[in-house]
Structure 1
Amino acid sequence: MLMDALRQPNDLPLLSIEDWDLLLRVARRTRLLGRLEADLARLGLLERIPERAACHLRAARVVVAHRQTRLTWEADRVLWALRGLEVQVVALKGVAYMLAGLPAARGRMAVDVDLLVPKEQINSIEQRLLDRGWMHKALHPDDDRYYRDWMHEIPALRHRERETEVDIHHRILPRTSRLQPDTRLLLQQTRAVPDMPIRVLGPHDMILHALVHLFHEGEPDEGLRLRDLVDVADLLRHFAGEPGFWDGLVPRAEELQLGRPLYYGLIYSRQLLGADVPDAVLQQAQGSAPSWLVRQAMDWLVPRAMLPTHPDIPNPTAALARWAIYMRAHWLRMPLSLLLPHLARKFWRRLQGAFKSRPPPLSADEGSKNSPVKE
């Protein structure tokens, strides 16, 4: 039902109130409620759906607008804090779509500000933000070292007053990742944002980064984020009108060593969301396709790990697919020689924390005093 709503929002006025009840619950869980409202408002159909459903969608619009205002303001404050530093700052993901005025920002619920900066300036940027009101949350020394030695970003910063999170990246994938796109190549093809000293990735790179974020991450509960694939489909539709866009997409992916994520993105955005990807481009992307066995596995896993399930009916198959995708993401991000010790340390710390937080046993007298039977 949700996929039909995303592909054909014109048909939404035909749904019954019972269907709307289920659709709203599923859309909220996948963070696409604001997107449904934006589509219906654009088509002038909000007045033709049940009023109670329309109220939920209008409320989602208010939440999305508030969140987008907060995040664009936070990006502005970061630029203010960095004033005087000769540094190139590139907005990523949701904030980039908002600042660039792209269709992917319509109704999009973003939670933090993601920025890409040159690696050699990361320390001065971090210190400048710490001096001007941002702070790191408390981290175990092992986790802090993990971020700084192996990851593609420093630990998240949160403003003391506004409590909005800022993620400062110096790469788009961890240093330990199997794929190693060159950040310098990304920074060479950025585009300016009108009236702001900030830039966004070029069209090809913006799509490739969205696909890296989609296919190289995963959560055991959420699986692959459908919202990220919606972003990709929106970006493909929007940039398809630019001269030479399709001709340069696959070569750019190969230059950045991101041919495999692009292959998956083109296949599944076309299959699941009806993105109009030319056959010639799909044929060109076949050069980065996995083996037949891996392709069959991904064709089974991706829809089950990405598409929402009924909120009231457990789906063991989907749970298995999400767990498998989660393990795949870890396997792609870090070799086992680093991953296993890291996970072992985290498990041991959690175990220690569980014992520390356990309340002391009651004495015999205390137990009898608090007995509900006596009361």
Structure 2
Amino acid sequence: MSYARKSRILLLRVLREPEHAQALSIARWSELVATARDANLLGALAERLASAGVHACAPAQLHLQGVQQLGERQHLSIRWEAHQLQAALSALDIPVVLLKGSAYVMAYPEIGRGRLFGDVDILVPRAALGDVESRLMLHGWASAKSDAYDQRYYREWMHELPPMSHVRRGTVLDVHHNILPLTSRNAPNPATIIARSQPLAGLPALRVPCPEDLLVHCLTHLLHDGELNNGLRDLHDADLMLRRFAAEPGFWARLQSVATGNDLAAPVALGLRLLERLFGTPMPQTLAAELESSFGAKPWTRWLGSYETALLEPFAGRASLRAAIARQLIYVRSHSLRMPLGLLARHLARKAWMKRRSATAEAEQG
């Protein structure tokens, strides 16, 4: 087993059993902090250790305290942005559903505690996109994509508008009308997610997904996205959700129904398998198998080893050949899930040409 893989396994063990960190040497603390930072889990590690009363060595403690302060500032910013969205969009009288990290911060702080992120994601009805974009622009948000092809790519094929950035605060907002691209093989119905969403206290225009949709979206995003830099972080989010929501009566049956009914049984089944293997997440033993039986397991379960290999090595620095191959295969597969082959080939060719043209222009200016 490689040193890098052992470091990630150590991180997972400490997240599950923080008391294990008490016996670490200064060198191992340094390794643990660096690994957690690479996985974007340093904030989660800091909160887990603090809640268990485990104190790090002095150098490591400085990093942990620093990331806790950063997390507090980010969460305060998210709460402020939620109030700004309420002010900007309440006049439209439509449901505005917070997604992913912003939903955790606003509705489930025990899940969001220690989580670091860089943008806010919302889901709105597709028919209201024009009005939503106009209202946001009036309140200071502007499109962060100026290229005409990028604008067309997002508006015709993707599940969201081009990212928007606030002209004064610099915060980034992703406005979704679905949770997967319109060209994706899977076809979730966003109307059902909105219909099942729950009101957010004190902010009448805003809502959050129901627990089952929150989890399904987390796993779907991870397993349809070719970039796995935040893969362990997303799995950690899912682990916390399952441990939190499992106590609610009927949760497991509803989770199976939501995943199957919204054409997302495959990514959820694979995500549950990964959670069992990497986090030891408790769940009904038959759940993943029942989800797999609804779509035929072989095309997805054969990817379990590839994801495990890709996730258990750091992204900073040099990955092993095995991990590099696994990540490349996952990257290609994720794009094949998002687009038909013909459209994908044209898109990648266009982006490669644009990248080369940009590099040539920079070289000529230099």
TM-score above 0.5, yes or no: yes
> Match of 1:22, as an amino acid?
E
Check if 1:152 corresponds to 2:151: no
Specify the structure having the higher radius of gyration (Cα).
1
Is contact 2:39-2:230 (8 Å) kept? no
Counterpart for residue 4 of structure 2: none
Residue deviations 1:248-291 (CA, integer Å, cap 9, x gap): 21122111011101111111111110100111323422314654
Is contact 2:145-2:151 (8 Å) kept? no
Alignment partner for residue 334 of structure 1, among 325, 333, 339? 339
Counterpart for residue 6 of structure 2: none
Q: 1:63 to 1:142 in 2, by over 3 A?
A: same
Counterpart for residue 129 of structure 2: 122
Alignment partner for residue 86 of structure 1, among 72, 88, 93? 93
Check if 1:252 corresponds to 2:277: no
Mapping 1:6-45, distance limit 5 Å: 6-45=15-54
| 3-state secondary structure, aligned to 1:175 | coil
Is contact 1:30-1:308 (8 Å) kept? no
Check if 1:229 corresponds to 2:257: no
> Match of 2:127, as an amino acid?
E
User: Structure 1 stretch 311-320 or stretch 255-264: which is displaced more?
Assistant: 311-320
Residue deviations 1:321-346 (CA, integer Å, cap 9, x gap): 11111111100000111111111111
Is contact 1:134-1:160 (8 Å) kept? yes
Check if 1:63 corresponds to 2:70: yes
Alignment partner for residue 266 of structure 1, among 261, 272, 279? 272
- Whole-Å Cα distance in 2 between the matches of residues 113 and 360 of structure 1? 36
Give structure 1 regions of 4+ aligned residues with deviation exceeding 6 angstroms.
none
Identity %: 37
| 3-state secondary structure, aligned to 2:173 | strand
- Whole-Å Cα distance in 2 between the matches of residues 272 and 309 of structure 1? 15
| 3-state secondary structure, aligned to 1:139 | coil
- Whole-Å Cα distance in 2 between the matches of residues 80 and 345 of structure 1? 39
| 3-state secondary structure, aligned to 2:142 | strand
Residue deviations 1:29-70 (CA, integer Å, cap 9, x gap): 111001111011111223xx2111111100010111111111
Is contact 1:309-1:315 (8 Å) kept? no
Aligned length: 356
Which ranges of structure 2 fall in alignment gaps of 5 or more residues? 1-9
Check if 1:202 corresponds to 2:201: no
- Whole-Å Cα distance in 2 between the matches of residues 103 and 328 of structure 1? 33
| 3-state secondary structure, aligned to 2:116 | coil
Residue deviations 1:86-127 (CA, integer Å, cap 9, x gap): 111000000000000342201000110000000110100101
Counterpart for residue 286 of structure 2: 280
Alignment partner for residue 218 of structure 1, among 211, 218, 226? 226
Mapping 1:270-309, distance limit 5 Å: 270-288=276-294, 290-292=296-298, 294-296=300-302, 298-309=303-314
User: Structure 1 stretch 154-163 or stretch 79-88: which is displaced more?
Assistant: 79-88
Is contact 2:99-2:122 (8 Å) kept? yes
Is contact 1:92-1:201 (8 Å) kept? yes
Q: 1:294 to 1:321 in 2, by over 3 A?
A: same
- Whole-Å Cα distance in 1 between the matches of residues 224 and 16 of structure 2? 25
Counterpart for residue 371 of structure 1: none
- Whole-Å Cα distance in 2 between the matches of residues 27 and 62 of structure 1? 16
- Whole-Å Cα distance in 1 between the matches of residues 24 and 321 of structure 2? 28
Residue deviations 1:190-243 (CA, integer Å, cap 9, x gap): 111221221100111111000111100022xx4561100111111111110111
Mapping 1:236-247, distance limit 5 Å: 236-247=242-253
Is contact 1:263-1:289 (8 Å) kept? no
| 3-state secondary structure, aligned to 1:83 | helix
Is contact 1:26-1:308 (8 Å) kept? no
> Match of 1:31, as an amino acid?
N
- Whole-Å Cα distance in 1 between the matches of residues 319 and 195 of structure 2? 47
| 3-state secondary structure, aligned to 1:115 | strand
Is contact 1:71-1:164 (8 Å) kept? no
Q: 1:353 to 1:13 in 2, by over 3 A?
A: same
How far has the Cα of 1:316 moved from its partner? 1.7
| 3-state secondary structure, aligned to 2:286 | helix
How far has the Cα of 1:299 moved from its partner? 2.5
Counterpart for residue 5 of structure 2: none
Counterpart for residue 364 of structure 2: 359
| 3-state secondary structure, aligned to 2:98 | strand
